[in-house]
Structure 1
Amino acid sequence: MLSMTKRTELKKAAHKAVRDQQALYQIIDESLIAHIAISDREQPFVIPMLAWRVEDKVYIHGAHNSRLLRNLKRGTNTCLTFTLFDGWVLARSAFHHSAHYRSAVVLGAFTEVSNNTEKDRLLNHFIEQIAPGRTHDVRLNSERELSSTMLLEIALTEASVKVSQGEVNDDLGDMELKAFAGFLPYRTIVGPLKAMADSQHDQEPDYSQAYGSRWHNQS
């Protein structure tokens, strides 16, 4: 169960709150993009970053001269958001149109992972998450590459999850209208692979196991 804190208590649409830790993990693992907030020289920024989870921590990486990473490395409090859009809710009135979505908010502060061996393990974990088996096929990170990469981690100790999957919420007075009422689902399709013209692979790899029903020929 997700821990409840004053900062993670939902004030708006509290009935959409989900306390299941696995729901948080699933949103992060499927999204893999975190929008991260910082305040730099009194100007707020929200920057999208590739992000991945290993157990109960989320990781981001980049160059040492990154403004975002330099700011976060200092232990600045921040907020990460992950969002998956699942479709439109089409009501009989314009007012009651809405959306289906799954979202997560993570609060806390990042710390740096400085050991190159641990960096290598965590970066390879990310590659395996998006393309299982790929670390056996490619050249792995050199010491120079690892040293030039900053890797930060944040614990999932303070987070909230919000899921909107409700029915159409029409007013009784609108129920006789002939307008269509229902849903317009969105679905992410992954693949097929597209090889570079100079690719010298012997056999096309199969990464479908990482994506389940989202893989292009599983529909």
Structure 2
Amino acid sequence: MTTQPLSPTTRTTPTRGRNRQVDDRRRLMALLSDALVAHLGVVVGAHPVVLPVAFGVDAAGPDDGGTLYLHGSVAAGWLAPALEQDVCVTVTELDGLVLARTGFHHSMNYRSAVVIGRPRRVTDLEERRRALDLVVDHMVPGRAAMLGPATRKELAATAVIALPLAEASMKQREGGATLEPGDLELTGWAGHVPVRRVASAPVTEDYVSEPVPDAVLRRVAELGRG
């Protein structure tokens, strides 16, 4: 699955900034591993909506190219329309601010992915349980094993949709500002500001007497690494 090329269709082939295009599917999987929030774009009625969603990834999942699992409420207004049409899911990680000597060349360092496809509703009970565990473990690896199984009531209130990862593209920018002829004659500072996400120390709920689990502490340390 990880050797299948990215951008297999015109819908996911970049038409601009192709020098930033990433073809290696392993780098897409690395981005999905790093990111914590995806955005789902779907047309609902007469207008499009873009919604932040939690997600989980199964690189060896049952769908073509692997499976991206998204979860939400069964009462969500976007659920039915999303199952009747192709949707677009995007993931972006901001890695830096790029400050040039001209406003035109100010930019950002980033990793971004676009996935397009027709999702399916996950109805198989075992696949739903596994998908929800993947969503939980995406936040804190190993967390699902610390919890009791989802109840029938919880499962009944939660919708899970699966999107194939076959039709996807990724772009990445890194480094400093673009330098045009004549920029050296200008004045002013230019450079880039690296940006990273940092987790603070866990805050235990008042009603909890147990210590912070090692898995949570490892996740905090992982998010604190530059």
CA pair 198-213 structure 1, distance change in 2 beyond 3 A: closer
CA pair 4-67 structure 1, distance change in 2 beyond 3 A: same
Mean Cα displacement is larger for which, 131-140 or 29-38? 131-140
Identity of aligned residues (%): 30
- SS of residue paired to 2:10: coil
Distance (Å, rounded) in 2 between the aligned partners of 1:213 and 1:125: 18
Equivalent residue for 1:157, pick from 154, 163, 166: 166
Q: How much has 1:80 moved relative to structure 2?
A: 0.8
CA pair 4-189 structure 1, distance change in 2 beyond 3 A: same
Number of the residue aligned with 1:54? 58
Number of the residue aligned with 1:173? 182
CA pair 160-60 structure 1, distance change in 2 beyond 3 A: same
- SS of residue paired to 1:157: coil
- SS of residue paired to 1:124: helix
Q: CA offsets per residue over residues 110-145 of structure 1, 9 Å max, x none?
A: 101112222112211222232233234333211221
The reply to whether residue 85 of structure 1 matches residue 94 of structure 2 is yes
Equivalent residue for 2:212, pick from 201, 204, 213: 204
| 8 Å CA contact 2:82, 2:119 repeated in 1 | yes
Number of the residue aligned with 1:138? 147
| 8 Å CA contact 2:94, 2:111 repeated in 1 | yes
- SS of residue paired to 2:71: strand
Distance (Å, rounded) in 2 between the aligned partners of 1:89 and 1:135: 39
1:2-21 aligned at under 5 Å gives the runs 2-21=6-25
Q: CA RMSD in A?
A: 1.9
CA pair 131-140 structure 1, distance change in 2 beyond 3 A: same
Equivalent pairs counted in the alignment come to: 215
TM-score, with normalisation over the residues of structure 2?
Answer: 0.87
Equivalent residue for 1:105, pick from 114, 117, 140: 114
Structure 1 unpaired stretches of 5+? none
| 8 Å CA contact 1:132, 1:209 repeated in 2 | no
Distance (Å, rounded) in 2 between the aligned partners of 1:5 and 1:66: 30
Structure 2 unpaired stretches of 5+? 60-65
CA pair 211-8 structure 1, distance change in 2 beyond 3 A: farther
Q: How much has 1:85 moved relative to structure 2?
A: 0.9
Q: Tell me which amino acid in the other structure corresponds to 1:101.
A: Y
The reply to whether residue 70 of structure 1 matches residue 74 of structure 2 is no
Distance (Å, rounded) in 2 between the aligned partners of 1:142 and 1:185: 43
Q: CA offsets per residue over residues 25-80 of structure 1, 9 Å max, x none?
A: 12222223221111122211111111221111101112211111122133x11111
Distance (Å, rounded) in 1 between the aligned partners of 2:176 and 2:10: 29
Equivalent residue for 2:157, pick from 148, 151, 155: 148
| 8 Å CA contact 1:111, 1:154 repeated in 2 | yes
Mean Cα displacement is larger for which, 111-120 or 155-164? 111-120
- SS of residue paired to 1:79: strand
Distance (Å, rounded) in 2 between the aligned partners of 1:204 and 1:210: 11
| 8 Å CA contact 2:36, 2:138 repeated in 1 | no
Distance (Å, rounded) in 2 between the aligned partners of 1:72 and 1:156: 16
Q: How much has 1:99 moved relative to structure 2?
A: 0.9
TM-score, with normalisation over the residues of structure 1?
Answer: 0.90
Distance (Å, rounded) in 2 between the aligned partners of 1:87 and 1:105: 20
Q: How much has 1:97 moved relative to structure 2?
A: 1.0
